[in-house]
Structure 1
């Protein structure tokens, strides 16, 4: 392949996908920290409640669903659990946390954060159209990486002399995290 063709392909794919690359990168960073910060939603209202809870062994999906309805929550339940002496329920637009002993708790209501919520949907979407587009995007990133590796054909900074070492380090580094820290 001619050098100008490689440069043109690299440039044009880079320009075409620049918005998606930035969106994926930003939403990926947010997804990495979703356990400590909920970037997708923000608090609209916090309401204190008092509830009489049954024994922990009587708390199940059916109980959680009926309690949610009794508390006026009509959105879909995601999960519920008893953890560290607290009964926790998570809904699409609400989180509920109740102390098992005292029955005191709170309902936190959320709405989706504009733009951020839509960007994070990029990582979560399972529509067949988006999956195919994501596959094309992934292949394009591979092409961008390969063409980028051969854009500097000669000199001490080309792929054959220096680039392959950095590329290998770029492959080894995430593998170390997977195997040693995973």
Structure 2
């Protein structure tokens, strides 16, 4: 029995429908991460006021600053007057270094959306191989979709025109914008 392009297209697309949806959602979210990034939400929040030490905020100074909170320090980042301290276990503290005022938040990953973003950004070797196979499957889906005979609206009639228009946008963004 030989498989037709329609059967290959259908079966590969069915197999990958979950990953197509997950990557589509997370891709849209990552495109808008500057304004909306729902990987985490705060479920507990506490306003804090700390005495910020003078001079450069070294790791040692930041560790000493947050030590009374009994949380395991992970890292910190200073942008302008905003100090963000990350703790193990998804807790963060954001402080204004001029006033010492800020907030300590315990966070959780947003179900589904936060997890799909983790998949999109994963560097796990097995996941990368699976994603590469998925990429090849998407190429197969695209090619077999073009080869499905569709009568007067098939690839040979108008499909190739739509494909060319669809290629213009990525090429514009890749080479011009």
TM-score normalised to structure 1 length: 0.83
Q: Which residue of 2 aligns with 1:33?
A: 32
- The answer to whether the Cα contact below 8 Å between 2:146 and 2:155 also exists between their aligned partners in 1 is yes
C-alpha distance 89-176 of structure 1, shift in aligned 2 (>3 A): farther
Q: Which residue of 2 aligns with 1:67?
A: 65
Distance in 1, matches of 2:129 and 2:98, equals 50
- The answer to whether the Cα contact below 8 Å between 1:48 and 1:105 also exists between their aligned partners in 2 is yes
- The answer to whether the Cα contact below 8 Å between 1:99 and 1:105 also exists between their aligned partners in 2 is yes
Q: Which residue of 1 aligns with 2:22?
A: 23
Structure 1 unaligned blocks of 5 or more:
none
Give the secondary structure class of the aligned counterpart of 1:58: coil
Runs of 4+ with deviation above 4 angstroms: none
Q: Which residue of 2 aligns with 1:42?
A: 41
Structure 2 unaligned blocks of 5 or more:
none
Number of residue pairs aligned between Structure 1 and Structure 2: 176
- The answer to whether the Cα contact below 8 Å between 2:85 and 2:92 also exists between their aligned partners in 1 is yes
C-alpha distance 154-68 of structure 1, shift in aligned 2 (>3 A): same
Cα drift, residue 13 of structure 1: 0.4
- Residue range with higher mean Cα deviation, 6-15 or 32-41: 32-41
C-alpha distance 142-66 of structure 1, shift in aligned 2 (>3 A): farther
Q: Which residue of 2 aligns with 1:174?
A: 170
Cα drift, residue 149 of structure 1: 0.7
Any residues of structure 2 matched to 1:121-132 within 5 Å, and which?
A: 121-132=118-129
Residue from 129, 154, 157 that aligns with 1:161:
157
C-alpha distance 5-66 of structure 1, shift in aligned 2 (>3 A): farther
TM-score normalised to structure 2 length: 0.85
CA RMSD of aligned residues (A): 2.4
Cα drift, residue 179 of structure 1: 4.2
Distance in 1, matches of 2:95 and 2:109, equals 24
C-alpha distance 117-58 of structure 1, shift in aligned 2 (>3 A): same
C-alpha distance 70-116 of structure 1, shift in aligned 2 (>3 A): same
> Does 1:140 pair with 2:123?
no
C-alpha distance 76-87 of structure 1, shift in aligned 2 (>3 A): closer
Q: Which residue of 2 aligns with 1:53?
A: 52
